[in-house]
Amino acid sequence: MKKDKKLLKWREAWKLNRRAFALIYKRCPHMIISRLVCVVWDSLTPYIGIYLSALLITELTEGRNPSVLTKLVLIILSSAAFISLAAAFLHKWRDIACAGLYYKVQQIFSEKMISMDYPDADNPKTHEMYHTIEQNRNGGGWGLNRVYGHIEGILSGLFTLLGGVVLTVSLFTSRVPDSSGAYTVLNNPLFVLLIIAVMLIITYIAPLFSNKAGSYYSLNSDSHNF
């Protein structure tokens, strides 16, 4: 039987992923919430250390007030300890919530098969479809198990981008001194637009290549063994 190798469009893929996410969330809400919380925490907390380190460097180069330096060092050490402890707790919560996920997903398929009428459940096309699902899941890691991973990646990139933008606003608003010679080209608004264009292109191309590479697993699912 010849299989249809046509790839899904973005709108169709979005609908399928949204439906899959709803299925997983209904079955494992704590798993979804714990993973999303960990993504947000891991994406934003590094910027706290960067910001505090910048304050310390600024004080070392300008004010050099011993009391201020002592206070900043204590804040940096305390925040680093708190972030590490909180991250360990959140990751442990996530690991516990994700335990047995494979069997929970398997239960979704089993319940679907049981709910079907016997002629439909015994139909060769149904078994062929289920076989393809298993091949894709065990061969390329596609299926319900991959959905939350994609959502994690999107949220991680989004919060990392937002955190970076917040910390680099001064990079685009501060002027390079006129005595800097050739570096004064950085004051040109076109240079700022060029940087933004490059960032947008990279943001678009990276998932495009990733999706293209991953599509080969699906297109060659017939050759996967499990």
Where is mean pLDDT largest: 135-139, 147-151, 217-221?
147-151
Please, which residues have CB within 8 angstroms of residue 137's CB and are 6 or more apart in sequence?
143, 144, 145
Residue 152 has pLDDT above 90, yes or no: no
Please, which residues have CB within 8 angstroms of residue 154's CB and are 6 or more apart in sequence?
none
The pair of three-digit structure tokens given for residue 153, joined into one six-digit string: 């990646």
pLDDT score at 75: 93
- Express as a percent the part of the chain with pLDDT over 70: 78
CB atoms under 10 Å from CB of 185, counted, come to 11
Task: Assign 221 a pLDDT band (cuts: 50, 70, 90).
Answer: low
- Express as a percent the part of the chain with pLDDT over 90: 11
Convert the pLDDT of each residue in 67-91 to its tens digit.
888 999 999 999 999 999 999 999 9
Q: What is the mean pLDDT of residues 13-22?
A: 80
Task: Assign 1 a pLDDT band (cuts: 50, 70, 90).
Answer: very low
Residue 199 DSSP class:
H
Task: Assign 220 a pLDDT band (cuts: 50, 70, 90).
Answer: low
Q: Lowest-confidence range among 23-27, 67-71, 90-94, 160-164?
A: 160-164
Integer Cα distance of 226 and 198 in angstroms: 42
Backbone angles phi, psi at 140, to 5 degrees: -105, 0
Please state, rounded to an integer, the average pLDDT across all residues of the chain: 78
Of 35, 31, 8, the residue nearest 154 (C-alpha): 35
- Of 222 and 2, the one with more pLDDT: 222
Residue 129 has pLDDT above 50, yes or no: yes
pLDDT score at 2: 44
The pair of three-digit structure tokens given for residue 104, joined into one six-digit string: 């929970």
Rg from Cα positions in the chain: 25
pLDDT score at 139: 64
Residue 5 has pLDDT above 60, yes or no: no
Q: What is the mean pLDDT of residues 39-50?
A: 87
Report DSSP letters for 135-152, one per residue. HHHHHT--SHHHHHHHHH
Separation in Å, CA 191 to CA 127, 183, 187: 58, 11, 7
